[in-house]
Structure 1
Amino acid sequence: MKNIVVLTGAGISAESGLKTFRDADGLWEGHDVMEVATPQAFDSNPELVLEFYNQRRRQLLTVEPNEAHKALVKLEVHYQVHIVTQNVDDLHERAGSSKVLHLHGELLKARSVRNELDIVTRKEDILVGDLCKNGYQLRPHIVWFGESVPMLDFAIEITQKADILIIIGTSLQVYPAASLIHFISEDTPIYFIDPKPSIQENGKEHLKVIPKTAVEGVPTLVDSLID
């Protein structure tokens, strides 16, 4: 059974109604990224940072997987499918995908500020004073700017085994996630789905650019791969 690796970004979740964190002006929900997505921000103003992610978590619980998420599940009948996502939501899992790796953490989990491996499921707000079992403050299980990406090596291992690579809703501009495309074989077919694609085919015989939204492009591509 062939291996399909799917790299997904904010574009696939946006069609479920989830706001993408970063707006066109570079602000995240009106906040400078340095105010809400760095360890230094959390140290200086934990209430602000926690409330920022509490709002994101609350919104996540109000939305559902879309047709693109659901279509990817159908591939698992015919292929070994691994999804490597930059998204921190659980929409792939809720749709039914069985192998999902989150590069940047998970919004519905929290972890100890002292031990990054002390992780718990958390659907409720996280407040200052909410402690892990060892008595340390809980924080969102999110990879902030300036922090290492602990799942990157696993993502590289998965990507290296790809017989087919599908890229959905990501500009491939954010590193280290964008580097994953360099770990596939030169002859691996690549399907790039994005309404405003950041790369072009330009004679690249193994690259197929599909300039559509995830909901428009993914079900059609999945049907073609199954047929």
Structure 2
Amino acid sequence: MKKIVVLTGAGVSAESGINTFRDADGLWEGHDVMEVATPQGFAQNPHLVLEFYNERRRQLSTVFPNAAHKALSALEKHYQVHIITQNVDDLHERAGSSNVLHLHGELLKARSTANPEVVIDWKSDIKIGDSASDGSQLRPHIVWFGEDVPMLPKAAETTSMADIIIIIGTSMQVYPAAGLVHYAPLHSPIYFIDPKPNIKASDFNNLRILQGRAVDKVPTLVSDLIDKAL
């Protein structure tokens, strides 16, 4: 069974109604990124940071997987599918995808401020005083700016073994995630789905650009790939 690696970004979740963190002016939901997405910001104002992610978590409970999420799930009947996502929501999982790697963490998990290895499922608000098993304050299980991306080596290894790569809803401008495509085998076709592609077919070997919304283009591509697998 061939292996498909799917790289997804904010554009996929946005079509389910999830606000992207970063606004056009560079602010994250009205906040400077240093205030709400760095260890320093958390140290200076933990209440603000916790509430910022509490609001994101509450919003997540009001949205649902879209046609792109569901189509990717359907691929698993015909291919070995690995989804590597920059998104921190659980929409891929809710759509039925069983092999999802979250590069930037997960909203529905919390972790110890003392030991990043102590991670637990967490669906409600995180409050000051909520403690991990080691007694330390809980924080969102989110990779903030300035922190290591612990899942990156596994993501790179997975990408390096792909027979087919699909990139959806990401500009491929955010590193280190954007560097993953460089691990793709030279022979593997790369499908890039975006309403406003910012790359050219000549930028990568075997790159095929499908201009359009994820909810339109992903189901069509998935249907074509399934037909080829039959």
TM-score range, shorter chain: over 0.9
Which residue is 1:193 aligned to? 193
Separation (CA, whole Å) in 1 of partners of 2:100 and 2:150: 15
**Cα deviation 1:3-46 (Å, max 9, x = unaligned):** 00000000000000000000111011000101100000000000
SS in 2 for 1:21: coil
Which residue is 1:49 aligned to? 49
Which residue is 2:17 aligned to? 17
Which residue is 2:156 aligned to? 156
State the superposition RMSD in angstroms.
Answer: 1.0
Which residue is 2:121 aligned to? 121
Task: Label 1:205 to 1:38 Cα distance change in 2 as closer, same or farther (>3 A).
Answer: closer
Which residue is 2:112 aligned to? 112
**Cα deviation 1:169-189 (Å, max 9, x = unaligned):** 000000100000000111210
- The code of the aligned residue for 2:132 comes to C
- The code of the aligned residue for 1:12 comes to V
The 5-angstrom pairing of residues 44-193 of structure 1 reads 44-193=44-193
Normalising by structure 1, we get a TM-score of 0.98
SS in 2 for 1:30: coil
- Report the count of equivalent residues: 227
Q: CA deviation at 1:134?
A: 1.9
SS in 1 for 2:201: coil
Separation (CA, whole Å) in 2 of partners of 1:154 and 1:177: 12
Separation (CA, whole Å) in 2 of partners of 1:76 and 1:13: 20
Separation (CA, whole Å) in 1 of partners of 2:50 and 2:86: 20
- The code of the aligned residue for 1:128 comes to I
SS in 2 for 1:48: helix
Task: Label 1:156 to 1:145 Cα distance change in 2 as closer, same or farther (>3 A).
Answer: same
Separation (CA, whole Å) in 2 of partners of 1:183 and 1:203: 14
- The code of the aligned residue for 1:32 comes to D
Percent sequence identity over aligned pairs: 70
Unaligned runs of 5+ in 2: none
Q: CA deviation at 1:51?
A: 0.4
Separation (CA, whole Å) in 1 of partners of 2:88 and 2:58: 13
Residue pair 2:194, 2:211 contacting (<8 A) in 1 also: yes
Unaligned runs of 5+ in 1: none
SS in 2 for 1:88: coil
2:6 is equivalent to residue 6 of structure 1: yes
Separation (CA, whole Å) in 2 of partners of 1:177 and 1:221: 23
Residue pair 2:186, 2:205 contacting (<8 A) in 1 also: no
Q: CA deviation at 1:202?
A: 3.9
Q: CA deviation at 1:204?
A: 6.1
Q: CA deviation at 1:205?
A: 6.3
Separation (CA, whole Å) in 1 of partners of 2:178 and 2:47: 32
